Amino acid sequence: MILDKLCNLSLYGVQFPSIKNLVDLVDVDDIVKFDKNTELHNFKIITIHGEPNLEFEKNILEAHIKNFDIHITIAGSDIIAFANIDDECNLHKDYDLDNDYALYKSTQIKTLIIPEGYFCIIPNHLAHMAMYGISNSVKKIVIKIPVS
């Protein structure tokens, strides 16, 4: 998992060609201006305005195969829960090909705070859940990035 300031996103285009393709299409400063769900070539940009929710299944996480996620916090602080699918999770719901996710259960969940103005790249081998037990409002963007 990678956590960094949003202004540094373009630096990761070397390791992730799909990220280079994204920042070639849209300036990093303009990414935070999306106010509705958008498809931009083969990228899915999802806008989220989350409110506190302490009533959720704390041991359920999701993972993807076709896409990896970039979570960008625009306002507030997000909390990402995660666990390695290889040795810290058990499959809870089989992979849904159309929606690109499987659900996992874990008792070995770790958390990472994503402050305002930061992003987090979540690789496919980590099951995750965003807005995990947040106690504040969060405005964020999730970008679905094709793996290949």
5/7 Cα distance (integer angstroms): 5
113/111 Cα distance (integer angstroms): 7
Residues (pLDDT < 50) of the chain are none
What is the pLDDT, as a whole number, of residue 73? Answer: 96
What is the pLDDT, as a whole number, of residue 136? Answer: 80
4/8 Cα distance (integer angstroms): 7
pLDDT tens per residue, range 25-53: 999 889 999 999 999 999 999 999 987 77
What is the pLDDT, as a whole number, of residue 76? Answer: 93
Considering the entire predicted model, what is its pTM?
0.93
Return the SS3 of 133. coil
